[in-house]
Structure 1
Amino acid sequence: MKTNSNNNTATLIHLSALSQYFIPFGNFIFPLLIWSSTKDKSENLDAQGKQVLNFQLSLFMYSLALGLIAIPIFIVTVLKNISIIEISNNDAFPIKNFNIEHINGIVIVAIIAVVLLLAIKIAEFFLILLASVKASNGEIYKYPFTIPFLK
């Protein structure tokens, strides 16, 4: 019975990372709360909690890096095509003359960064579900591309 309870708690630790879709930073807060209150009960719960937090921290770092690549490039590209006169006229959509010629190699890098960010978020959702199923069976799931911040 104790093992089944630990498996359920481990599953809850993984699934609590999905709270990010409802509560900002819920993917850090709830796994951390559950893990810190249960890590002394078993080595399995301690390992599961570390895996979840390491995965979420890794994804945060990857997302931050991709955002730091994509956002400035998009801002510069958009501002390059807006004149001060159009801004001062309070035009609702000042980019009227934007054409495909303005897309250069650096913009393609930004587009790739956005696509990678979307792929990471989709993969995160399914990896959390997979880890939850493994945890319910008593297995420790090691997320791919995870930086071991907590050892």
Structure 2
Amino acid sequence: MKEDKQLLVLTHLSQLLDFATGIGGFIVPLVLWLTKKDEILGMDAHGKAILNFRISMFLYILICIPLILFLGLGILGLITIGVFYLIFPIINAIRASNHEVPNYPLSIKFIK
């Protein structure tokens, strides 16, 4: 296994593709994780953290949609999720560049 800090950083930042393409922020990290998890040191842990975060946020979005009907609580939830989508990939890209373990709050561990 080799160390590639730049690829780990890029994997986290690739989530921001959602803002340009709509779905690329899930597909690109998934493909990078599946193809590089056995080659790059730390890719398995970082990839799992990203995918758990993405799946968890998707479920939270599904929960927020019906909550829009109840006093607009869903809108507040969607705004919060949007901020999470923007900030936490950047924070964890910085963590990856410093050889730190990724930390995505409110992530459910679907992939262990």
Say yes or no: TM over 0.5: yes
Aligned partner of 2:86 among 120, 125, 133 = 125
Partner residue, 1:18: 16
Match of residue 144 from structure 1? 105
Aligned counterparts of 2:97 and 2:77: Cα–Cα separation in 1: 30
CA RMSD of aligned residues (A): 1.3
1:113: Cα distance to partner? Answer: 1.6
The normalised TM-score by structure 1 is 0.69
Q: 1:69 to 1:112 in 2, by over 3 A?
A: closer
Is the CA contact (8 Å cut-off) linking 2:64 and 2:73 kept in structure 1?
Answer: no
C-alpha contact 2:13 2:90 (8 A) present in aligned 1: yes
TM-aligned CA deviation for residue 16 of structure 1: 0.7
Aligned residue pairs, count: 111
Q: Deviations over 1:22-48 (max 9, x none)?
A: 112112100001111110014511100
Residue type at the aligned position of 2:8: A
Structure 1 CA distance, aligned partners of 2:38 and 2:10?
A: 16
Q: How far apart are residue 17 of structure 1 and its match?
A: 0.6
Structure 2's unaligned 5+ residue stretches are: none
Matched, 1:69 2:67: yes
List runs of 5+ in structure 1 lacking aligned partners: 74-105
Provide the identity percentage.
32
How far apart in 2 are the matches of 1:128 and 1:22? Answer: 15
**Structure 1 residue identity aligned to 2:96:** A
**Rg larger for:** 1
